[in-house]
Structure formats: C-alpha cells, structure tokens
C-alpha cells in the first residue's frame, strides 16, 4: 500500500467522481510525486497507482476514463486488461493474476482524502 501524502490530504471532491466514476490526479511532492486514480463504487472509494502491471503505462487514454464501458471493472485502455475495483486484481488480459498497486484513500465528508 503506497503512502504518498499525509493522512487526511484532500485528493479531490467526491463529486469529481460523478462523471466517469473515477478521477486521475497527482499526489506527493518532488521525486515521490505520483500519478494515481481514485474510483468510486457504491459508498466506497478505492485508490491505485496509475500504472498498468503489464508494461507500466497509465491506464486511461481519455481523462478520468478508468472504468469499463459496462461498469464494474477498471479497464486498461492500452491492451484491455480488466481489474476488480475493490482490490485491483487483474481478472483478464495480458497481466491476468497481477494487481494494481493500491493507495489508501477514504471518504471524508464531501472529499476523498488519503487514509
Ligand atoms: S499496458 Fe495495460 S494491458 Fe497492456
């Protein structure tokens, strides 16, 4: 589990996830600065480093487009790997059996923050 910023650091507003169900953003300073994304599912939010375990590229082609067309899974736009939202486990695609690197996030009022 990556800790990229202090607990409670605001990452985005919960409402930022409404359009696509997810949001890509940067967190951390200097060399530890990292591209992550957060996903909402029901009342829960989940965070992951934005790097596909297949070849290490960001998952999205379009801003904040991390969720598969039919919902319910995180999709890598490069070669189509699909990941479970709740734990980042790759259920199909070239990195099947691998997993996204989790980032600890939680809902705090109207915001998504570092957990
Ligand atoms: S880079 Fe993600 S599936 Fe190949």
Q: What CA–CA distance (Å, rounded) separates 56 from 33?
A: 16
* Domains contained in the chain, number: 1
Cα–ligand 1 centroid distance for 24 (angstroms): 17
The per-residue pLDDT for range 75-106, each reduced to its tens digit, is 999 999 999 999 999 999 999 999 999 999 99
Cα–ligand 1 centroid distance for 36 (angstroms): 16
CATH of residue 110's domain is 2.102.10.10
Is residue 5 a part of any domain in this protein? no
Is residue 43 a part of any domain in this protein? yes
Looking at the predicted structure, is the pLDDT value of residue 32 above 90?
Answer: no
- Token pair recorded at residue 38: 């957060």
Is residue 85 a part of any domain in this protein? yes
The per-residue pLDDT for range 57-69, each reduced to its tens digit, is 999 999 999 999 8
Atom of ligand 1 nearest to the CA of 95: 3
Confidence band, pLDDT 50/70/90 cuts, at residue 35: very high
Is residue 36 a part of any domain in this protein? yes
* Residues near 95 by beta carbon (within 8 Å), at least 6 away in sequence: 52, 53, 54, 81
Cα–ligand 1 centroid distance for 25 (angstroms): 19
Confidence band, pLDDT 50/70/90 cuts, at residue 1: low
Backbone phi and psi for residue 94, each to the nearest 5 degrees, phi listed first: -65, -15
Provide the domain limits for residue 15: 10-114
Is residue 3 a part of any domain in this protein? no
């Amino acid at each position: 589990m990556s800790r990229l910023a202090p607990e409670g650091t605001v990452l985005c507003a919960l409402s930022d996830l409404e359009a696509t169900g997810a949001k890509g953003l940067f967190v951390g300073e200097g060399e530890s600065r990292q591209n992550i994304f957060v996903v909402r599912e029901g009342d829960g939010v989940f965070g992951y480093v934005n790097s596909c375990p297949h070849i290490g590229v960001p998952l999205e082609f379009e801003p904040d487009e991390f969720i598969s067309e039919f919902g319910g899974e995180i999709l890598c736009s490069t070669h189509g790997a699909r990941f479970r939202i709740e734990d980042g486990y790759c259920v199909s695609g070239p990195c099947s059996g691998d997993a996204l690197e989790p980032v600890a996030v939680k809902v705090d009022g109207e915001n998504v923050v570092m957990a």
